[in-house]
DNA sequence: ATTACTAAAAGACGAGTAA
DNA sequence: TTTACTCGTCTTTTAGTAA
C-alpha cells in the first residue's frame, strides 16, 4: 500500500476537496515518470484509498474515508513514537472561544514585561483556547511548567502568579499559560504567541489543533 | 528511503535506547524473509538513518539524529494534513505602483507561452503590485508555489526561472508570480490576470486589495 | 491534451548457503 | 546461532506508443 503517494495527495488537499491533477503533474510531485504516477493513482484507487473522476485534461482525485483512516493510522504511529519520555509531546484538542479574560490579563504591563523577558516575544493580546482530548489531558499533567510568572500588586488589586511552558503550533513558537488558581480547569489550555494565531492559522471554533511542546 | 521500516524500529523504541534485534525478529515485524530484513537494516545504515553494533546473537540498533529528524518530518506532514479544516487563505495589502518591469517580462513569448499552458490564460501585459501587511507576509511564506516557470535563453541574454500560485481577486482568477531571484522582496506580490485588474476593478494606489489563494 | 498498454530494463525478493 | 553473499525469480519501473 503506497502510503507516501497517499500522503502527498493529502498534502495537496485531496482529503478536503476534489483535487484536479494529471498524471504528469503527480509525476513531478513524486519524482517519477508519468507512467508510474498514473499506475500509482490507479493502484490507490484499486485499494479504495482514493476515488477518481476523469476529465479531458486530467482527473479529479478525492481521498476516500478509507484513505483518511489510513493516513490517520500513520499519524497515530508517529504520535506514539514521539509521545514517550524524553521525546516530543503533542497536545491535541479542539479550538474553543474563551471568556476573553486572557486578553485583559496579557495586556497588563506587569505580566507583559515578564513574557517579553522570559519568553522572548511580545504576546498578541489574546489567547487561543483549546479543549484537550482525554489523552492530551494526561500528557499535559506530566509537563513541567518550567517558566514562572510572578504576581504583582496594582494600586487597586493583586494579580496572581502563574507558569508557562513553550509550545510550537504550526511554525509559530508560543507558550501555554496557566494561572495558579485553585479551580482552573485541566482540560483547557490557553496559548499566547507573538501573533494572532486564530487569524494567522485561519482557525475556527471546533477545528482540530495540534500543539507541540518544546524545550 | 525506507520510511516504513524506520518507523517500525521507532515503534519498537530504537529512537530512545539501543534496541536488541536480530534480522529474523525484524523479518517477522515487517512480514518478510530474514534476507530482506537484513538487507533493509543494512540499507537504513547506509542511509545514516540508523547505526548498528553487532552482537553474537543479533544486533544493537539505534536510530540516529538524522533518522529522528526524518521521522519528525513525517510527523509534521501528518499534523499538517490533520490540522485546521478546509481553511482558505487570504492575502491582504495595499495597491502600489511597480517599476513597470513586470510588463516587459510578461510580454516575452518565452514566459507568456508558459503562462498560457500552465495557468490557462493569456496574461494582460502588466502586473498588479500589492504591498502585503504583516500577517499576509507570514501567510505567503507558507504557500506552496506549485506552478513552476522555467527560464530560457534569448539571442542576447538569459531569463531566469520562477514560480506561481493561483489566486482569485474579486471574480477574476489570476496568479501571483515570483521570480527566483536572491533579493526579491517578501512583502510585495505581483499578480497577473487575463485582464487589466487595475482598470477592471477601478483600483488606485493605496487601495486595499484582498486576494484569495486557490488550489 | 490525456490515460495506460506492452516490452524491456532495473530493482527487490527469497532459497540456499558461506563465514 | 548470527549476517549477508549469490543467483534465479518475481515485481516495479520506464520508454515508446496506442487509444
CB-based contact B85 A199, cutoff 8 Å:
no
* pLDDT value for A168: 93
pLDDT, mean over chain A: 89
- Give a three-class secondary structure readout of chain B: CCHHHHHHHHHCCCCCCCEEECHHHHHHHHCCCHHHHHHHHHHHHHCCCEEEEEECCEEEEEECHHHHHHHHHHHHHHHHHHCCCCCCEEEEEEEECCCCHHHHHHHCHHHHHHHHHHHCCCCCCCCEEEEECHHHHHHHHCCCCCEEECCEECCCCEECCEEEEEEEECCEEEEEEEECCCCCCCCEEEEECCCCHHHHCCCCCCCEEEEEECC
User: Does residue A33 lie within 7 Å of nucleic acid chain D, judged by its CB?
Assistant: yes
Assign A209 to helix, strand or coil. strand
Same domain for A60 and A106, yes or no, is no
Question: Looking at residue B70, which CATH number applies to its domain?
Answer: 1.10.10.10
Q: Residue B71: which of A4, A78, A196 has the nearest Cβ?
A: A78
The distance of B213 to chain A (nearest Cα, Å) reads 13
* pLDDT value for A183: 77
Same domain for B60 and B117, yes or no, is no
Q: How confident is the model at residue A193 (pLDDT cuts 50, 70, 90)?
A: very high
* pLDDT value for B86: 45
- Of B48, B82, B116, the one marking the end of a domain is B82
Residue-number span of the structural domain to which B143 is assigned: 89-213
Residue A76 falls inside a structural domain: no
- The mean pLDDT of A55-71, rounded to a whole number, is 90
Same domain for A65 and A98, yes or no, is no
The distance of B143 to chain A (nearest Cα, Å) reads 11
* pLDDT value for B136: 80
* pLDDT value for B215: 72
pTM of this structure? 0.61
Which B-chain residues 62-101 have CB contacts (< 8 A) with chain A? 71-72, 74-75, 77-89
A43/A33 Cα distance (integer angstroms): 15
Same domain for A155 and A90, yes or no, is yes
The predicted-structure confidence for B66-123, as pLDDT tens digits, reads as follows 999 999 899 888 988 887 654 467 788 889 998 777 888 898 999 999 999 899 999 9
Nearest Cα residue in chain A from B140:
A200
Q: How confident is the model at residue B182 (pLDDT cuts 50, 70, 90)?
A: low
Same domain for A59 and A110, yes or no, is no
Same domain for B180 and B98, yes or no, is yes
A208/A96 Cα distance (integer angstroms): 10
Provide CB contacts within 8 A for A99, sequence distance 6+. Answer: none
Same domain for A55 and A116, yes or no, is no
Number of domains in chain A: 2
Amino acid at each position: 500500500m503506497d502510503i507516501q503517494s497517499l500522503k502527498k495527495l493529502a498534502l495537496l488537499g485531496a482529503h478536503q476537496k476534489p483535487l484536479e491533477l494529471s498524471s504528469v503533474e503527480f509525476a513531478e510531485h513524486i519524482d517519477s515518470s508519468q507512467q508510474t504516477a498514473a499506475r500509482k493513482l490507479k493502484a490507490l484507487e484499486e485499494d479504495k484509498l482514493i476515488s477518481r473522476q476523469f476529465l479531458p485534461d486530467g482527473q479529479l482525485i478525492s481521498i476516500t474515508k478509507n484513505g483518511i483512516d489510513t493516513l490517520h493510522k500513520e499519524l497515530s504511529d508517529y504520535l506514539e513514537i514521539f509521545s514517550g519520555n524524553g521525546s516530543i509531546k503533542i497536545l491535541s484538542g479542539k479550538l474553543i472561544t474563551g471568556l476573553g479574560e486572557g486578553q485583559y490579563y496579557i495586556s497588563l504591563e506587569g505580566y507583559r514585561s515578564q513574557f517579553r523577558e522570559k519568553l522572548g516575544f511580545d504576546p498578541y493580546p489574546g489567547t487561543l483556547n483549546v479543549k484537550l482530548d482525554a489523552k492530551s489531558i494526561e500528557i499535559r499533567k506530566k509537563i513541567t511548567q518550567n517558566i514562572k510568572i510572578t504576581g504583582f500588586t496594582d494600586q487597586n488589586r493583586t494579580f496572581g502568579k502563574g507558569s508557562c511552558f513553550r509550545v510550537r503550533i504550526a511554525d509559530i513558537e508560543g507558550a501555554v499559560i496557566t494561572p495558579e488558581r485553585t479551580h482552573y480547569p485541566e482540560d483547557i489550555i490557553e496559548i499566547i504567541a507573538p501573533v494572532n494565531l486564530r487569524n494567522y492559522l485561519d482557525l475556527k471554533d471546533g477545528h482540530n489543533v495540534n500543539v507541540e511542546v518544546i524545550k
